[in-house]
Amino acid sequence: MLREDLTKILFDETAIAARMDALVECIDRDHADKDIVVIGILTGSCIFLGDILRRLTLPLTVECLSVASYHGEMQSSGVVTFRQSVMPDVAGRHVLLVDDILDTGRTLKAVGAKIRELGAMDVKSCVFLRKQIKREDVDADYVGFDIGDEFVVGYGLDYMGYYRNLPYVGVLSPEAVTRHAKK
């Protein structure tokens, strides 16, 4: 049923695995001899984060932040909400933020600012997907794939909580959007 809700598949499992290997090679090289804190921005990054973590060969600790900017919609609301009261201890540490998608840039910008405010030595970011659109003054240091301005699901990305479990990334059909909106 889930596959039929997509108009096309952008990246299959083989392409994703190959890109993860290349990304981690760059991250390992750039962070050689550093002890890093990897912070996953949940919930969308969970699958990407797991794949990155399993490939990294660096000494690291893992933290997660729960933030929201879409609030169940297809476009960012423009408001980034931190959903936890206790923030990770990053003072004097090298931090790698891992997120699912760089869209407007608001989430990555807000999280990066918060982590810097908490005293991180430096903050780098890694995103699975980067939309090729005009955005705020923010970009990712490491990018899995560039995509057009399409609403995508799979590999952790969702619509109304569905489709995260797809092992590939695809474009959601307008019919599926309409069907979920009626629920």
Condensed to tens digits (0 to 9), the pLDDT of residues 137-177 reads 899 999 999 999 999 999 999 998 899 999 999 999 999 98
pLDDT confidence of residue 71: 47
CA 108, 11, 133: angle at the middle one, nearest 5? 40
Q: How would residue 74 be classed by pLDDT, with cut points 50, 70 and 90?
A: low
* 177 close to 160: Cβ distance less than 8 angstroms: no
pTM of the model: 0.90
CA 24, 27, 30: angle at the middle one, nearest 5? 150
Which percentage of the chain shows pLDDT scores above 70?
93
d(CA 105, CA 111): 10
DSSP letter, residue 55: H
155 Rama class: left (phi>0) / alpha (psi -120 to 50) / beta: left
d(CA 118, CA 130): 26
Which domains, ranges and CATH numbers included, belong to the chain?
13-147 (3.40.50.2020)
> 77 pLDDT exceeds 80?
no
pLDDT confidence of residue 3: 86
Of the candidates 51, 103, 137, 149, the residue annotated as catalytic is: 103
Average pLDDT over the chain, rounded to an integer: 90
To the query of whether residue 139 is one of the catalytic residues in this protein, the response is no
> 2 pLDDT exceeds 90?
no
